[in-house]
Structure 1
Amino acid sequence: MKQRSYLAIEDVTVEFPTKQGPFCALQSIDLSVERGEFVALIGHSGCGKSTLLNVVAGLVKPSRGVLFLDGDVISGPGPDRAVVFQDHSLLPWLTVEENVRLAVDKTAGDKSKAERRDWVLHNLELVQMAHAARKRPGELSGGMKQRVGIARAIAMKPRILLMDEPFGALDALTRAALQDVVMELQATLNNTVLMITHDVDEAVLLADRVVMMTNGPAARIGEDHAVAMARPRDRLKALDMAEYAAARHAVVHFLHERYRNPTVGRAA
């Protein structure tokens, strides 16, 4: 029997009931992600990227198909799958440390209070936010809030980190800084990541593979392109690499063809 990948999405179809009948958002999705791999999902609006991420998170049940994470069937939400959304969702009445502590308390087991605090501060240090541990979200910039959101997610030690356009609401400079943080975390933690983005350069810079979705409804995986750049990656050096240019060309070409021909790749 063939061994499954770390994350195995097998023949997943998602339909939603409507007054006009079932609406098929995703059809027959097969996707494998290996342990320690960073995979970016990209496609035009309405192609089901967020739906697929929500299926992996256990927030949406597939109409057909099954998902496995490290051999276990995904049947609902769980702390082994931490999600970072575009909205940081920090509780405004709690400090930065207390916001992260909420997540740690769910997964800390028998750790003592001191051990939990050390773990919270360790993860804040990883995103350069330990200095703001006692501040509240209202005192932070958008980029700082998102750093705390990332710290909260990785503090849970999830088996896979799910990111739904985490930098979409940030300005270009802040977005670039957060991308660098994610690259540094990948180098330090070797964590498994599935990320949605609309930004081609972000996908190519961060990911080991860029998975391109066809247009919805009944969206499928159109292409799966490996980014042949070694890690760790340097932003400025990557821009001059032939491998970066080749990957960017492949993604832009795919998206442009889907824009010009919306029905190309659509399931019958």
Structure 2
Amino acid sequence: MTTANERYLQVQHVNKVFTRDNVSNQVLADVNLTVKRGEYISIIGHSGCGKSTLLNIVAGLSTATDGYVILDGKEVNEPGPDRSLVFQNHSLLPWLTVYENVALAVNKVCKHKNKKERHEWILHNLNLVGMSHAIERRPGEISGGMKQRVGIARALAMEPKLLLLDEPFGALDALTRAHLQDEVMRIQAELNNTVLMITHDVDEAVLLSDKIVMMTNGPKATIGEILEIDLPRPRSRIELANDPQYNHYRGEVLRFLYEKQQKVKPIASVKTAESKAAVAAG
């Protein structure tokens, strides 16, 4: 019998159809996903497979044509503070300081806290992402990586049940991206957040995730395979570079994406990580 924590987030039989000028386009078809509390889930697939559409439905920014989303026992029908979304673009207001950008969210959501408590909470979250030294700077005065740190701090300050990341590192250079990935791993380990992230980066997905959800090509995209990542935490990208299991997982995702790119029916469904590793070793 599954517990509430084991089905913390449920996406059930979700379809999404867009209609314009009497022409309908089904983007998602019968998407089903169950996420445990505290899990880190990556969604990967080729462009046009409905990743962002699915994330927007979970965020409450878009409604499913059919099906439903349940988060912690409550159906999702609209945006809410129990879900925070971090975009690829930092989405900071340029006329506000770093502190004020985070305060905007805190003052809206944390009305149960008094002024002093809100101030301390803002500083706490900026310190969590290493940005407490830049509280008086405006977005134009800090780097792209620092802007994303502030965006993550703002999202975390809302104390969401679910953190949604839409390619949060996609616009960053390789070194900054790697550093922020390490920071997100550290924060997720500390806070035990439940995270749903869209990515195009296979290495990023394997490094960060507990499960990788692989989407089929659109239209009528759905979940093709779900790969469980059984790697101990904390994870080091340096140590994992030559790890056979890490490279096995990486190869499985690349295989899936290549097959979809070639429009070839997958040879076989994904087995458990243990059985696949045994076959590879044998």
TM-score computed with the length of structure 2 as normaliser? 0.91
Q: How many Å apart are 1:178 and its aligned residue?
A: 0.8
Q: Partner residue of 1:105?
A: 107
Q: Partner residue of 2:121?
A: 119
| 1:73 equivalenced with 2:75 (yes/no) | yes
Which residue of the other structure, out of 42, 45, 69, is the alignment partner of 2:44?
42
Instruction: Tell me, in whole angstroms, the C-alpha distance in 2 between the residues paired with 1:127 and 1:264.
Output: 41
* Contact in 2 for aligned 1:204/1:210 (Cα 8 Å): yes
* Contact in 2 for aligned 1:214/1:264 (Cα 8 Å): no
Instruction: Tell me, in whole angstroms, the C-alpha distance in 2 between the residues paired with 1:197 and 1:262.
Output: 22
Which residue of the other structure, out of 17, 42, 48, is the alignment partner of 1:15?
17
Q: How many Å apart are 1:234 and its aligned residue?
A: 1.4
SS at the partner of 2:78?
coil
Q: How many Å apart are 1:3 and its aligned residue?
A: 5.0
* Contact in 1 for aligned 2:14/2:29 (Cα 8 Å): yes
Which residue of the other structure, out of 168, 184, 187, is the alignment partner of 2:186?
184
Any idea what the Cα deviations from partners look like across 1:171-228, whole Å, max 9, x if unmatched? 1111111101101111111100000000000000001111000000000100100011
Q: Partner residue of 1:145?
A: 147
Which residue of the other structure, out of 228, 231, 245, is the alignment partner of 1:229?
231
* Contact in 1 for aligned 2:259/2:265 (Cα 8 Å): no
Mark the runs of 5 or more structure 1 residues left unpaired by the alignment: none
SS at the partner of 1:17?
strand
Instruction: Tell me, in whole angstroms, the C-alpha distance in 2 between the residues paired with 1:112 and 1:18.
Output: 47
Instruction: Tell me, in whole angstroms, the C-alpha distance in 1 between the residues paired with 2:248 and 2:235.
Output: 16
Further displaced range: 167-176 or 232-241? 232-241
Instruction: Tell me, in whole angstroms, the C-alpha distance in 1 between the residues paired with 2:258 and 2:239.
Output: 26
Q: How many Å apart are 1:264 and its aligned residue?
A: 6.9
SS at the partner of 2:200?
coil
* Contact in 1 for aligned 2:256/2:266 (Cα 8 Å): no
Instruction: Tell me, in whole angstroms, the C-alpha distance in 1 between the residues paired with 2:188 and 2:2.
Output: 28
Q: Partner residue of 2:136?
A: 134
* Contact in 1 for aligned 2:102/2:122 (Cα 8 Å): yes
User: Which contiguous aligned blocks of 4+ residues in structure 1 show a shift greater than 4 angstroms?
Assistant: 1-4, 262-265
Any idea what the Cα deviations from partners look like across 1:58-86, whole Å, max 9, x if unmatched? 01100000110000000110011000000
Instruction: Tell me, in whole angstroms, the C-alpha distance in 2 between the residues paired with 1:254 and 1:133.
Output: 44
* Contact in 1 for aligned 2:164/2:197 (Cα 8 Å): yes
Q: Partner residue of 1:247?
A: 249
Further displaced range: 88-97 or 235-244? 235-244
SS at the partner of 2:20?
coil
Q: How many Å apart are 1:243 and its aligned residue?
A: 2.0
* Contact in 1 for aligned 2:44/2:214 (Cα 8 Å): yes
Instruction: Tell me, in whole angstroms, the C-alpha distance in 1 between the residues paired with 2:249 and 2:22.
Output: 40
Instruction: Tell me, in whole angstroms, the C-alpha distance in 2 between the residues paired with 1:115 and 1:249.
Output: 48
Instruction: Tell me, in whole angstroms, the C-alpha distance in 2 between the residues paired with 1:141 and 1:180.
Output: 18
Instruction: Tell me, in whole angstroms, the C-alpha distance in 2 between the residues paired with 1:127 and 1:210.
Output: 25
Q: How many Å apart are 1:20 and its aligned residue?
A: 5.5
Which residue of the other structure, out of 190, 211, 214, is the alignment partner of 1:212?
214
Aligned partner letter, 1:157: E
Instruction: Tell me, in whole angstroms, the C-alpha distance in 2 between the residues paired with 1:170 and 1:132.
Output: 19
* Contact in 2 for aligned 1:215/1:262 (Cα 8 Å): no
SS at the partner of 2:256?
helix
TM-score computed with the length of structure 1 as normaliser? 0.96
* Contact in 2 for aligned 1:92/1:136 (Cα 8 Å): yes
Further displaced range: 159-168 or 108-117? 108-117
Instruction: Tell me, in whole angstroms, the C-alpha distance in 2 between the residues paired with 1:192 and 1:9.
Output: 15
Q: How many Å apart are 1:2 and its aligned residue?
A: 5.8
Q: How many Å apart are 1:263 and its aligned residue?
A: 7.7
Mark the runs of 5 or more structure 2 residues left unpaired by the alignment: 268-282
